Amino acid sequence: YFPEVFALTFFLSQHPDHPQLREPAWILGARMLHVGLDGTTRHDHRMELDNGAPFTSDLVEVEVGSKKFMVASKTPFIGFMSENQDFLNESAVWDGSRPIEDMRESMFLARQNRHPDQRAVDDDTWFSFMYQVRAWHSAVALTSYHEDVRPVLRALVR
């Protein structure tokens, strides 16, 4: 979906076996080249090229420090660590201790934000929704980033 995200994840990762971005990470100017992105990295339908994806018509000039860059403004991408990651125990599928068939219904509901466990809000539930909100807020708060980057985020993230 986002070739720039893939490339940066692969080349900037410091983990030899499981490439991942350091987080939180904004990738500005990323191009979403396929339709159907649902917010997860699991795919349940074929990838279809977005023939309407802009390549130059959405460029805007931004300044970082004293340098100016032309950056696409349509699809800023943010990656952040979910504090409720693996609340459905899908890692058991990937390590082979649980069959994927046991997960299909739960994953389908969760990918549509309709799984009942996604509504847990009590303090003593480790995957409580409030922890997800906290992680998201920390990732989007301008104060989480260097002051030279803040004007760029203000210009491109809407």
The residues pairing with 62 across neighbouring beta strands, listed in sequence order, are 69
| pLDDT at residue 29, rounded to an integer | 83
Confidence of residue 1 (pLDDT cuts 50, 70, 90): low
Inter-CA distances, 121 with 88, 111, 126, 127, 157, Å: 16, 19, 10, 8, 29
The answer on pLDDT for 39 being more than 60 is: no
DSSP string, 52-74: T--SSTTEEEEEETTEEEEEE-S
Q: If you average pLDDT over residues 114-133, what whole number do you get?
A: 86
Q: Give burial (CB, 10 Å; 0-12/13-18/19+) of 97.
A: exposed
Confidence of residue 41 (pLDDT cuts 50, 70, 90): low
pTM of the model: 0.61
The answer on pLDDT for 40 being more than 60 is: no
| pLDDT at residue 43, rounded to an integer | 54
